Each structure stands twice: as structure tokens, then as C-alpha cells.
Amino acid sequence: MGSRLRNDVKHLIECFCEIVSPETSNKQPWVVQKFPESFKDDEMLKQVALFAFPCEVPCNTVQHFSFVLTSLDSKWTFGFCRQAPGAQTALVIISYLPWHEFFFKILNQIAELMQEQAVQDINSFLEALYQRDVPAPSTTLHIPFGRAHRVYTCKCPNTYTLPSIPENRNLTEYFNAVDAHNMMVIFASMLHERRIVMVSSRISRLSACIQAANAVIYPMIWQHIYIPVLPPHLMDYLLAPMPYLSGVPTSTWERVRKSELGELVVLDVDTNHIETPFDDLDRLPPDIVSGMRRRLKTPGNMMGDGVARVFLRALVQLIGGYRDALRFRQGEQITFCQDALVQSRPLALRPFLESMLQLQIFQQFIEERLEMLNSGQGFSDEFELEACLYSDKSSSRLKQQYKEWLTTMKKESGALFKKANPAMRNAVKTVGRLAKEKSRTAYREVRSKFKDMQIHRELEGAAFSTGNTKLRDKPRSAPSSPKFGVSDVSTNQRRTAVSPATLSHQLNSNFLDRNHSLRRCETSVSQHYHVSGSSPGFPTGTNGASSSSSEESGTEDELQMTPLNLNLMDDMKDILARTASTESTPPAIDRSVKIFLYLPVSLFAWFF
């Protein structure tokens, strides 16, 4: 089922007629005059007469309302009616164009000419109006008529924009009569294609609310029974099992047998009270409902197209991703894939979207878009513009995929931590224990060697102090540095799991904290030997201090010996290398936890 509007409209109006109200309820209204006289659809004129007086309640003020006639091909024909208090007739314009404000102004102009009793001007005006081609949207229409060359000016509506307040009479009446919550309930009920009835004692308000409710589901359009004002002879339509959207005058509603209607949504427009057996609003995604409620309560959205845009944005969130489901193959027409549309939407929208795909209002929307694409027409309307803005702003599919991936990653990483936790901790403890054992063993061996060196030097110093002349006469030379059996350090580094350089760095801190034995050794050597300031084994400041203390002691026979060449750090590295080479190879680490090293750093913070 395609669009309900016609595309091949050739005239602004199809017919103008004046209808006489019946004197009693037993009689029916009839057409007293029409224009053009060539209009021969008598069946339509009979229906128009019945819709022009849908109830017996007299009007106290001038009121405008509209009704809709549906043809066999499901196309709509609009009737625009004007009733005046005390008048015996109603003025009606029949057109294929849904230009409510435009034709209501035309009816007012015709009513003024009738009051002037300018019959020739009326015929001239209607002739000029009928002969005019359909003007472009948002253009100003000039209609010359009469002997005085009068010109009637009226602006045509812009059909490419959303209805706005207060310019659009239907939406203004709807927004003033119904609160935000009930508007949302009607909106949700239409998206579920329910049987919906609106009731009011004012015909103008009734038809306006029905027309506005259909307008806010743009770009979709109601595809079922659509009667903005229900005349008494169509009361049985309320018993139909299929969905419908109907406006019923209060006088007619009081005559309806409610027990036979079944489940339907009823909105009393006069009291703003709604009754529904369904929870359609709760079935909509919560974020969409909260966004609609928040925007409809914002004072800035009361004027302009703010109200209509609230509902448009909700539909963009629901079906705006239909372009992701379009499929094109070379040499074939563009098609639509329903599954692709569902997959393109977030998880929270998918349950409702799957049910919405079966609605006729959505199928009509897709068929209309595909027809324009395959015919090469293309389209650029408010819905497409809003969909582009929403896509650029949120990138809903990528964000949702990231959220789903993040949730899955957290679950899997939690299980991975539980599995890898014992193995990882055992590996860390094993490495730490081996490092501590190697450092302690190396430290004990170094300490033992320096004790032996200290005893040897003390014995030599004692021999000099006893006056041994033989030793004094012999050539003086510094004692050789202790040799500990130097091994290939680089080879040991390759064979061991822990490098000597790393252990040497760890031992330096421990060795400096526990260097009492080394200090004793240095003191003993400095007391028995005079070391030159150029000795590479000691700092310059230390040598100078030793020299001055020797001169003050007054020792004449102080020894003048060759400087000591003690490179303790190199010797210590040799010891560490030899010790590390003798240690057994550490146990192998469980490599099954290797994947743990590739996780983000933030995950290690959770683990430790």
C-alpha cells in the first residue's frame, strides 16, 4: 500500500459546493449549488453533504473543520468546511491537497463575497481559482477577479517543512487541548496500530486533533480507516476489527454501545482524559520516551516546529537507520533488508523494531522511499536531514558495538584473572626467591674473602712494626690484589636466568649498608702504608688526609711504597659471575599465562 496522497493533482480545487442543513433529523442535507457545473460525481456529492453536517448540535461561532473521503485505490480526498452561526448552509471545498489553512482562508473570502451578494464576483473568483495550476510550495498566490479587477492574495504552505505553532491550526489545537503525556500515548498507540477514538463536542477541535495526530507520525502516514469526523450513518465503522483512527462527536458517541466495541483507545479531548487497555507507551524504548517527555515539557518547544520535531526525532531513532538496510546490485533495483535494519539498531531498540517492521505504516514508508530511489527522483526532506544529523552526532551502531565488546571483555577478563591468578603469583614468588638466594650467597662469599685479606695485611703490618730490617731493606712494592679465579662474565650472563649486573646492582645497596668490614680493612691499610695522591685505588681527598697525618706523627722512617691498585668492584663482579654459574637453573615458568601480559595496564591494577 502506497501513499494516501495523490501525485497528479492538476487543480487547486476539484469542486466548490454549498450544502443546506436538514430541517429535521429525518431528512438529509443536500447540495444547493456547485462549481464547476461540469463536476458529475454525484456519489461523492452525497457523501460530502453528510460529512458537512456530522451532528445536530448547532454552532455558536464560526468553525472550520475538515473531513476525508477514501477512494477505492485508498487515496484521500479532503473536504474543507465552514459553518457560521445562524446560517442555513455550509460552504465546502473539495481538493486533493491537504492545505488546511490555505482553504480555510479561501472559504472566508467566499463567505465575504456572499455577504456582499456579488454573484458575478463569486463566479469570477471561483473560475480563477479553479483554472490556476498548483503553485510551488511557500509561494504567494495572486487571484484577480471581478469587474473592479480585485486581487486576492494568499500564501501557499511549505509542504517540505514540519507543522509549526501557531501557523498550523491543527497542531495548535491539538497541543492546547491534550497534554504531553496523552499525546505520547496516542503516538505509541498509532505505532502499534490500535483502534483509536477521539471524542469532542466541538467539531473543529475534533477534526484538528485527528489530523494533527496523523501529522506527527511523519514521515509515515496512517494506512487504515481514517475518519476525522464520523457522521452518524457511519457508526458501525466503530465495530470494525481492523485498526482505525476516528473522531466522534460527543452526541454521536453517546449513542454508541460501548460493550460491543471491544478493546480500543479513547481520548476525550474536552476533558483531556484517556482510557486504554494497552501499555504501548511502556513498550517503547525507555530512552526515547524520556527524551520525548523532557522535550515536550521544555517551554522553548511550545512555539515553531518544536512539538513536531520531538516526535520526528523519536522516529529517527527507531527507523532512521533504514538506509543501512538498503541493498543495491549492478543492473538490479534497490531493495530493502529487514534483518539488516534490526542489526543496525542498538539492542534496546531491536524488540520493538522487530514488531514495527510488520506494520503497514512502516511498509508504506519503505515502499515510498524505494519507489523514489528506483525512479531516480531521490528525496531530501526533514526526516532525512534529521537522520543525517543523528547519525553524525551519535554513531549509534559503533557506540553500541563498543559497549557490547566492553561488557564481554569484562566478563571474560574476570574469568581469566581467576584462572591466571595462582600461576602468576607463583611465578613472581619463584623469581623473587631465586634472586634473594643468589644475592645472599654472593654477599657471604665476598665478606669472607675480605676478612681473609684483612688478616693477611694485619700480619704484614705487624712485621714492619717490629723493626725487621730485612724487610725494610728489600724493595718495597704494594701487595698484589687478591685473585679469586676470574671467569668469563659474558658467558655466565648468557647461561644464567638472572644477570650478574642485576645482582651487582642489588648487592651495592646491601653492601653499602653493611660495609663495616670494608671500612676496617681500609683503615688498616691506611695506617701501615703511605699512599700517594695519584693512586687510582683511592680518592684524592682520602690520600691527602693520610699524608698530612703521617707528617704530623713525625715518623722518620715512614715507608714510601708503590700505590695500591685495588679494583674491588671488578673483583666482586667476578665473584658474582662465578657464583651465578654454579647455581642450578631455576624452574621453568608456566607459559600458559602468557596471554595475561597482553592485557591493558589498567587490568593489572585490578589484579595486583
pLDDT digits (tens, 9 = 90+) for 107-155: 999 999 999 888 889 999 999 999 998 999 899 999 999 887 899 999 9
pLDDT, tens digit, 9 for 90 and up, residues 224-277: 999 999 999 999 999 999 999 999 999 999 999 999 999 999 999 999 999 999
pLDDT in tens, 189-234: 999 999 999 999 999 999 999 999 999 999 999 999 999 999 999 9
Is 458's pLDDT higher than 90?
no
Q: Average pLDDT in the 315-321 region?
A: 90
What is the Cα–Cα distance from 461 to 551, expressed in whole angstroms? 19
The boundaries of every CATH 3.40.50.11500 domain in the chain are 160-394
The model's pLDDT over 552-591, given as tens digits with 9 standing for 90+, comes to 444 444 444 445 555 556 666 666 566 555 444 445 544 4
Q: What percentage of the chain carries pLDDT values higher than 90?
A: 45
Q: Which of 149-153, 501-505, 544-548, 597-601 has the highest mean pLDDT?
A: 149-153
**Tell me, what's the pLDDT at 515?**
47
Report the distance separating Cα 106 and Cα 509, nearest Å.
101
What is the 8-class DSSP label of residue 235? G
Task: Name the percent of the chain lying above pLDDT 70.
Answer: 64
Q: How far apart are CA 548 and CA 550, in angstroms?
A: 5
Query: How do residues 407-447 score in pLDDT, each as one tens digit?
Result: 554 454 444 444 445 544 554 455 455 555 655 665 566 56
Q: Which three cell numbers stand for residue 26?
A: 429525518
Quote the cell numbers at residue 206: 475534533
| C-alpha closest to that of 382 among 310, 309, 326, 319 | 309
Q: What is the pLDDT of residue 344?
A: 80
**Who wins on pLDDT, 396 or 349?**
349
Terminal Cα-to-Cα distance of the chain (whole angstroms): 64
Cβ–Cβ < 8 Å for 184, 293: yes
- Torsion 271-242-215-103 (CA) sign: negative
Contact 198, 210 (CB under 8 A): yes
| Residue 590: predicted pLDDT | 47
Residue 466: pLDDT above 60? Answer: no
Outline which parts of the chain fall under CATH 3.30.450.200: 15-155
Q: Residue for cell digits 511498509?
A: 363
Lowest mean pLDDT among 59-73, 301-315, 443-457, 470-484: 470-484
Q: Distance of CA 488 to CAs 224, 442, 493, 581, Å?
A: 95, 17, 9, 10
Look at the alpha carbons of 369, 373, 376, 382 in this order and tell me if their dihedral is positive or negative. Answer: positive
CB atoms within 10 A of CB 392: 8
Confidence bin at 332 (pLDDT 50/70/90): confident
CATH placement of domain 15-155: 3.30.450.200
Q: What is the mean pLDDT of residues 314-334?
A: 89
* SS3 annotation, 515-554: CHHHHHHHHHHHHHCCCCCCCCCCCHHHHHHHHHHHHHHC
Cα within 13 Å of Cα(186), Cβ side? 32
As given in the structure block, the three cell numbers for residue 245 are 483512527
pTM exceeds 0.75, yes or no = no
Alpha-carbon span 147 to 133, nearest angstrom: 23
- Determine the pLDDT at residue 226: 97
Instruction: Give the pLDDT confidence score for residue 233 in this predicted structure.
Output: 92
Place of cell 665476598: 446
* Cell numbers representing residue 262 in the block: 471491544
The count of other CB atoms within 10 Å of the CB of residue 60 is 9
pLDDT at 428: 45
Length of the chain: 608
- CB neighbours of 441 closer than 8 A, spacing ≥ 6? 579, 583
Burial class (CB in 10 A: 0-12, 13-18, 19+), 383: buried
- Cβ–Cβ contacts within 10 Å for residue 414, how many? 11
Q: Evaluate whether 390 touches 317 at the Cβ level (below 8 Å).
A: yes
Architecture of domain 160-394: 3-Layer(aba) Sandwich (3.40)
Would you give the DSSP letter of residue 192? T
Give the pLDDT confidence score for residue 324 in this predicted structure: 86
Q: Taking all residues of the chain, what is their mean pLDDT, rounded to a whole number?
A: 76
* 3-class DSSP state of 276: coil
User: SS in 3 state form for 56-114?
Assistant: CCCCCCCEEEEEEEECCCCCEEEEEEEECCCCCEEEEEEECCCCHHHHHHHHHHHHHHH
